[in-house]
Every structure is written in structure tokens, then in C-alpha cells.
Amino acid sequence: MNLTQIHERLRLELLRRIQRGTLSVSLLARQTGFAQAHLSNFLHSRRQLSLEAMDRILAAQHLTAADLLPAIGPVRDSATGAERFSVPIVSHAVALFEPFLRPSAVQGMLDLPAGLLPSIRARATAARHAWERFVAVRIPAADALAMEPLVLPEALALIDRHYNSLAPYRPNRPNLYAVRHGSHLTLRYVDYLSNRLVLRPHSIAFPVDLIEIDGDGSPGDLLVGRIALIWNEL
């Protein structure tokens, strides 16, 4: 990873904190001594920061350079020498809201064959291209009930956050998505009708949910990503 990429990841992290209400441009200006206009230009990609300025922002936000490094990458099995790909297991909140993953947010790693992930097709909106693509989340028993027997309690679900389109991944087969429902992550089949997302469970014992889409919103804003794989037994 080069300096330009780290610079961009810092910008995205600051924007994430602002969007979640834990930071504001005025607060960051007070913490660092920079003018609000200077910070605003950086946040809107109109100017770059010097290394000294980056250091001051990192210190003010209790971040380190390591927090901006990717938490995903290839690993090599020490016994067989075969290359595998490691995907971070994260909380539902991290999967929902964090464009890139800090090492402190990673709960564990899921190792996959190296050739698996490159074969998965993406279909992302422009805003999603900057997000780290694959994360895995654990599905607690209460959330798995509506999707049984497809998803069992404590299953791991691999989310492709670069597929937030409603277009079918395979013809005549519904996509299963991780969806943001309020501040909650839920797994559902999804349709879009009359400006509403229709969330359908696998089990007929559970109701269909509707989510209204705001006038300036789009379905892709609420689709965390397509569920690429599910592990019910580990």
C-alpha cells in the first residue's frame, strides 16, 4: 500500500466518523489547529495533506498508521505451501458502516482457497468501489431463525460488499443479501416495489418486512452486500 492509498483511507475514516456523528469538521479543527476550510477541502478530495498534517490528525483521532492498513490479504499455509486468502470476521456494525477495516475491528480470520474470491463477480455502485470488499459476519440464533434451514445459528456469512445491485447473480435464482434495517444487519431475499425494499425470509413462519426508500436514496444504500457463501458448520 502506498502513501496515496493511506491518505485516501484516512479521508474515508474521517468521513465515516462524521456520518456516524462521533466527529465534526469543527471539532477536528479544534483538535488539530487546522482551519475548517483546509479540512473541508481534504475531506472533499480537493487537496492533499502533508505528512505532518496526517500525523496531527492521526494523533487527534487516536489512530495509528497500522489502523489504516488492509486487514485482508493472501496467506500461505506453512505445512503445505498452498496459498489461501484470509477474510476478516467482523461485527455487524463494522460490516454495515466501515468502508475499510482497522485491525482492531477484526474478530478473527476466515481462510479460503486463493482462487475462490477472484472468481466472484462484483456489481457495485460507484460509492462502494472504495470499500474493502469481503467481510464475514457471524449470524446469532435469533437472526438465523427466519432463514432456517439455509442459515443455521452461529453460521458465518461471507458478504461481498461490492455487490449491492438487485440484478440476479445467477438467472432464475434469488440473491441473498445482508441488508441494513435501521441499525441492524439482517439476511433476506430482497425485491424492490413501489419505492420500497421488500425483505423476504426463507421460512414462511416469519413475516415479510418493508423498508421505505427516501426520495434521494436508492436500494443500493441499504444493501450491505450479496451473501456469497454460508458456513453452517465449522
Torsion region of 225: left, alpha or beta (phi above 0 gives left; psi -120 to 50 gives alpha): left
Closest-CA residue to 110 (of 132, 82, 138):
138
Mean pLDDT of the chain: 87
Amino acid at 164: N
Decide if pLDDT at 1 tops 60. no
Q: Cβ(87)–Cβ(195) under 8 Å?
A: no
Residue 79: the pLDDT is: 53
Q: Which three cell numbers stand for residue 88?
A: 476478516
Q: Domain spans of the chain?
A: 3-68, 77-231
Which residues are bridge partners to 209 per DSSP? 199
Average pLDDT over every residue of 61-87: 66
- Among 108-117, 128-137, 206-215, name the one with the lowest average pLDDT: 108-117
Decide if pLDDT at 87 tops 70. yes
Contacts of 35 (CB under 8 A, 6+ apart): 29
- 97 SS3 class: helix
pLDDT band at 49 (very low <50, low <70, confident <90, very high): confident
Decide if pLDDT at 16 tops 60. yes
Provide the whole-model pTM: 0.73
List C-alpha distances in Å: 161 to 77, 116, 127, 221.
26, 16, 11, 11
> What would the DSSP string read from start to end of 18-80?
HHTTS--HHHHHHHH---HHHHHHHHTTSSPPPHHHHHHHHHHTT--GGGGS-S-EEEE-TTT
- The CATH topology of domain 77-231 is Umud Fragment, subunit A (2.10.109)
For residues 98 and 153, what is the distance between their CA atoms, to the nearest angstrom? 25
Residue 155: the pLDDT is: 95
CATH code matching the domain that covers 3-68, chosen among 1.10.260.40, 3.90.1150.10, 3.10.129.10, 3.30.70.1430 = 1.10.260.40
For residues 179 and 199, what is the distance between their CA atoms, to the nearest angstrom? 9
Q: Cβ(43)–Cβ(16) under 8 Å?
A: no
Q: What is the pLDDT of residues 135-168, one digit of tens each?
A: 999 999 999 999 999 999 999 999 999 999 999 9
For residues 29 and 8, what is the distance between their CA atoms, to the nearest angstrom? 19
